[in-house]
Amino acid sequence: MNNAVAGFSKLSKNEKINWIANTYFSTPEEALKIIRNYWNSDHKLQQLHDEFIENTITNLYIPLGVAPNFLINGTYKTIPMAIEESSVVAAASKAAKFWATRGGFKATVMNTEKIGQVHFTFNGEAEKLQLFFDQIKPKFFSDTQSITKNMQQRGGGILDIQLRDKRNLLDNYFQLHATFETKDSMGANFINSCLEQFATTLKEEAQNSDLFAQNETLQVVMSILSNYVPNCVVRAEVSCPVEDLTEKHITNPQEFAERFVQAVQIAEVEPFRAVTHNKGIMNGVDAVILATGNDFRAVEAGIHAYASRNGQYSSLSHAKIENGIFTFWLEIPLALGTVGGLTSLHPLVKLCLEVLQKPSARELMEVVAVAGLAQNFAALRSLTTNGIQAGHMKMHLNNIINQFEATEEERHLIKTHFKTNAISHSAVVEFIENLRK
């Protein structure tokens, strides 16, 4: 079957949908019904969503929830979270409630430097290139003045530009390594615009320079920001006396604290565990980033690179017991924005930022890091006490019930039964089948 299509992007939205329905479905009417059910009834709002990306056919909804009672640096916050995974919001909320009575979360932005690079090749002498760079470096700043003017007025701009010799990695490979401060914007467009001007200046100045011989050529390969921002880092932590860890599932706080620290240490040395451990952190991080209109793919890539910065993939969080005090913390790189992009376009993103009391980019970094730490604490508390599946499957029960389109009466009977019986997918299916016999 040949499903190729010519000129798809030029088709109208309805033509695209009809092509999808007629090409891939035996009952096109059913496909069309599902697609249109997820359109927004507000035409202008739907058009706004249609124009976020190309070839839009409908909307894919992800639940937006909130986790209240987060005490962060002495102030209570309600954190919006967009995520489809069962128990994440519930776990974050439980961790928030737990730590609110034990001093809350402390969060500190350690630095906010962002990075961009111009990658180029040069087949001449490195000493000549360095001399050339030193001569023209001021021109990189002057040639980008029109781009940086507004950012400078907000206290940001280009921090520095360095020439880096990377010939140990690839033949003739050099780069301009530039650092930036972008204040409350994530800064991708700003950084990339600066970099492209750097590249233009570099090429033009090299062509006109009398430092290089005719056979010494400089060629720009590409100019692009980096999503690895090891100098744009935020720290979040919680701590309390070990004896204060006592609660319903923690009757021996010393034993719990020691086992908790061991669990973190395992993630620090064992990559197979570290990946799942950090995935739990990202449950919290990504949910807040998505709710606030930021780029979770960029954050994911940068954070996982950071987790490997010492040569082996390792835990992003750490824990210790010292002088009777339990401390749990993480440090993660986060390049976020609260102005520009979706933050000023998507109505729900704007609503979420309102719920967070219109945070600056630095404040949003703190909130995101805290959400990640809370999620990690909740997971490790479950893993080291009564196990993770009991709570997770309890939350997952609704998904199974919905999958089988249970009636209200069936739903009541199922939930009543599984209040006192172990939940598993097969057990729920068997119970439903027996009900329906």
Alpha helices in 101-221 (DSSP H): 126-143, 145-153, 188-208
Q: Is residue 284 a contact partner of residue 376, using CB atoms and an 8 Å limit?
A: yes
Beta bridge partners of 176: 118, 163
Q: Which residues contact 424 (CB under 8 A, 6 or more apart)?
A: 393
Q: Is residue 29 a contact partner of residue 6, using CB atoms and an 8 Å limit?
A: no
Q: Is residue 295 annotated as a catalytic residue, yes or no?
A: yes
Burial 407-423 (b: 16+ CB within 10 A, else e): eeebeeebeeebeeeeb
In angstroms, the CA 219 to CA 89 distance is 50
Q: Is residue 165 annotated as a catalytic residue, yes or no?
A: no
Q: Is residue 425 annotated as a catalytic residue, yes or no?
A: no
Closest of 347, 402, 401 to residue 64, by C-alpha = 347
Q: Which of 97, 177, 279, 320 is catalytic?
A: 279
Q: Which of 181, 184, 196, 295 is catalytic?
A: 295
Q: Which of 77, 94, 119, 392 is catalytic?
A: 392
Q: Is residue 392 annotated as a catalytic residue, yes or no?
A: yes
Q: Which of 50, 85, 331, 410 is catalytic?
A: 85
Angle 169-175-179 (CA atoms, 0-180°, nearest 5)?
125
In angstroms, the CA 407 to CA 201 distance is 68
Closest of 193, 216, 56 to residue 127, by C-alpha = 216
The H or E element containing residue 217 is none
156-164 — which CB contacts under 8 Å span 24+ positions? Answer: 156/180, 156/181, 156/182, 156/183, 156/187, 157/181, 158/194, 159/113, 161/137, 161/198, 163/129, 163/130, 163/133
In angstroms, the CA 209 to CA 252 distance is 73
Whats the size of the chain, residue-wise?
437
In angstroms, the CA 32 to CA 63 distance is 23
Closest of 420, 411, 399, 427 to residue 63, by C-alpha = 399
Catalytic residues: 85, 279, 295, 392
